[in-house]
């Protein structure tokens, strides 16, 4: 065992959430409460509502992000200023936002303020005032965010990738579209909140210093009479044939995006997939940085990351280069994405394990990160993984298990979207 691995093992033995027991309570309305009580003086929570951009009504792309924003502009008996003051009085650090599959409402504060904080969040989620003089400002901010894509060509490219690679509702990016946002009305927001922001399938996760029994009782009081079911979220579906698309834009740089299917988070090979992704793109010594940037000098940025929706794992790869070297960059990038299935070395495997477990430990020291993590685990897996379980699975990955994973899930059928002045040729793979 290396010195780095020994240090990690020592930290694991002291980590406050390592041996925390996850408590679970299911309410009749479909809401699941998860909790990991500790002796910390801080507490955090994350409420996931199964209403993301994937289930937005047709022609209303961006509605969810506007609704989430307006929910904080007055709720229950408080107007916008009163609600903001109440959140500030409790020292709440807000979190959350709109995702493709769900919307999250999160926060963190001192443990003694949890009861008052949950009362505020019950109003925000269940009883937003949706004021007539506030919602258009939120919509205008969403339009400004959409406009900002022109100054962020890499993000613009991946938004377009999502819209064309997915054929299910997952094609809708949470940022929305200009047509969808401008078509919104206040009545749309009110109707959508009633139709989609419902408890069936919702998850409330709490981590840190709190009492489980009293929190169950309070959540029952605050959310027990919340009723309704959101529209069914279908399985993510992608194009049957690989996508190859160019977005013409007069820029000094060329953006290259690649998407291809990987390993679902529920599959036994998921951890091998996660480690292999880190070997590809986990740091300055990782393969893509070394082979594409350092050795060949083709790019100013290159990466690949593992991503997941429920039922689908996939990889998103990126390269930013000059127009003159863009075709070579694409060819080399795809070659490296395929080459890893030939095998990995023990030294790069060891580095990947150290990077991943170190990152896990540092993130799990935070109540806020842990609350978000257990909520996402329940959403993706229907259960909560302990830090101990995850690190054991990561450390069990071997070169042979990565080879076996790629036998089942080979890197192939690459969809490519490019943005810049040059239209590239589809490589022959």
User: What is the enclosing helix (H) or strand (E) of 193?
Assistant: helix 186-196
The domain made up of 244-420 has a fold known as Cytochrome Bc1 Complex; Chain A, domain 1 (3.30.830)
Under the banding of pLDDT at 50, 70 and 90, the label for residue 6 is low
Per CATH, the number for 21-223 is 3.30.830.10
Is 429's pLDDT higher than 80? no
9: left (phi over 0), alpha (psi -120 to 50) or beta: alpha
CA distance 198 to 31: 9
* Cα 368 to Cα 22, 177, 362, 382, 422, distances in angstroms: 15, 31, 12, 20, 44
Q: What local confidence, expressed as pLDDT, does residue 15 receive? A: 42
Sign of the four-CA dihedral 275, 281, 286, 291:
positive
Task: Pick the closest to residue 114 from 21, 31, 208 (CA basis).
Answer: 208
Q: Would you say residue 1 has pLDDT above 80?
A: no
| pLDDT band (50, 70, 90) for residue 8 | very low
Per DSSP, the three-state class of 251 is coil
Residue 427 is predicted with a pLDDT of 83
Q: Could you tell me which residues come within 8 angstroms of residue 352 by beta carbon, excluding any fewer than 6 positions away?
A: 275, 278, 279, 282
Shared fold status for 21-223 and 244-420: yes
The answer on pLDDT for 192 being more than 90 is: yes
Phi-psi category of 192—alpha, beta or left, where left has phi over 0 and alpha has psi -120 to 50? alpha
Q: What is the mean pLDDT of the chain?
A: 93
Percent of the chain with pLDDT over 90: 88
- Please state the rounded mean pLDDT for residues 392-403: 96
Residue 102: how many other CB atoms lie within 10 Å: 26
Q: What does the domain layout of the chain look like in residue ranges? A: 21-223, 244-420
When pLDDT is averaged across residues 382-402 and rounded to a whole number, the result is 94
Query: Where is average pLDDT lowest: 4-13, 25-34, 168-177, 289-298?
Result: 4-13
Q: What is the pLDDT of residues 40-51, one digit of tens each?
A: 899 999 999 999
For residue 16, what pLDDT band results from cuts at 50, 70 and 90?
A: very low
Q: How confident is the model at residue 3 (pLDDT cuts 50, 70, 90)?
A: low
125 in Cβ contact with 71 (< 8 Å): yes
Three-class secondary structure of residue 145 per DSSP: helix
Give tens-digit pLDDT for 83-138: 999 999 999 999 999 999 999 999 999 999 999 999 999 999 999 999 999 999 99
Which whole-number Å values give the CA distances from 304 to 115, 247, 336, in the listed order? 42, 21, 11
Predicted confidence (pLDDT) per residue in 33-73, tens digit: 999 999 889 999 999 999 999 999 999 999 999 999 999 99
Give phi and psi for 318, each to the nearest 5: -145, 145
**Any residues with CB less than 8 A from the CB of 116 and at least 6 apart, and which?**
90
| pLDDT for residue 19 | 53
Give tens-digit pLDDT for 317-371.
Answer: 999 999 999 999 999 999 999 999 999 999 999 999 999 998 888 776 688 999 9
First to last CA, the chain: 40
């Amino acid at each position: 065992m290396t010195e780095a691995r020994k240090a990690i093992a020592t930290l694991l033995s002291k980590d406050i959430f390592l041996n925390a027991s996850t408590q679970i309570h299911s309410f009749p309305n479909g809401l699941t409460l998860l909790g990991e009580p500790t002796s910390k003086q801080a507490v955090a929570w994350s409420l996931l509502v199964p209403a993301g951009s994937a289930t937005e009504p047709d022609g209303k792309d961006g509605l969810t992000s506007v609704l989430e924003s307006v929910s904080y502009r007055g709720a229950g008996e408080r107007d916008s200023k009163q609600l903001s003051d109440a959140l500030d009085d409790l020292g709440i650090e807000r979190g959350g936002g709109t995702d493709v599959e769900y919307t999250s409402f999160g926060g963190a504060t001192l443990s003694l303020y949890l009861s008052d904080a949950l009362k505020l969040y019950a109003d925000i989620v269940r009883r937003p005032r949706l004021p007539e003089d506030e919602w258009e400002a939120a919509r205008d901010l969403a339009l400004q965010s959409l406009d900002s894509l022109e100054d962020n060509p890499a993000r613009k490219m991946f938004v377009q990738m999502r819209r064309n690679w997915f054929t299910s509702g997952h094609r809708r990016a949470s940022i929305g579209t200009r047509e969808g946002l401008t078509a919104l009305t206040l009545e749309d927001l009110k109707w959508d909140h009633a139709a989609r922001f419902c408890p069936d399938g919702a998850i409330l996760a709490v981590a840190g210093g709190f009492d489980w029994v009293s929190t169950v009782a309070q959540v029952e009081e605050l959310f027990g009479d919340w009723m309704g079911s959101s529209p069914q979220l279908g399985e993510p579906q992608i194009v049957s044939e690989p996508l190859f698309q160019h977005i013409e834009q007069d820029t000094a740089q060329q953006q290259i995006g690649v998407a291809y299917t990987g390993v679902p988070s529920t599959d036994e090979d998921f951890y091998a997939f996660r480690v292999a992704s880190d070997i590809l793109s986990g740091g300055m010594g990782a393969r893509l940085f070394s082979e594409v940037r350092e050795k060949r000098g083709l790019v100013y940025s290159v990466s690949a990351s593992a991503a997941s929706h429920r039922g689908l794992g996939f990889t998103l790869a990126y390269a930013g280069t000059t127009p003159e070297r863009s075709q070579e960059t694409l060819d080399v990038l795809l070659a490296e994405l395929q080459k890893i299935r030939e095998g990995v070395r023990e030294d790069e495997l060891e580095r990947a394990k150290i990077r991943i477990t170190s990152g896990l430990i540092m993130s799990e020291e935070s109540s806020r990160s842990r609350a978000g993590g257990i909520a996402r685990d329940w959403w993706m897996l229907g259960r909560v993984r302990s830090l101990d379980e995850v690190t054991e699975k990561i450390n069990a990955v071997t070169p042979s298990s990565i080879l076996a994973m790629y036998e089942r899930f080979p890197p192939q059928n690459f969809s490519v979207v490019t943005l810049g002045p040059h239209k590239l040729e589809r490589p022959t793979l």
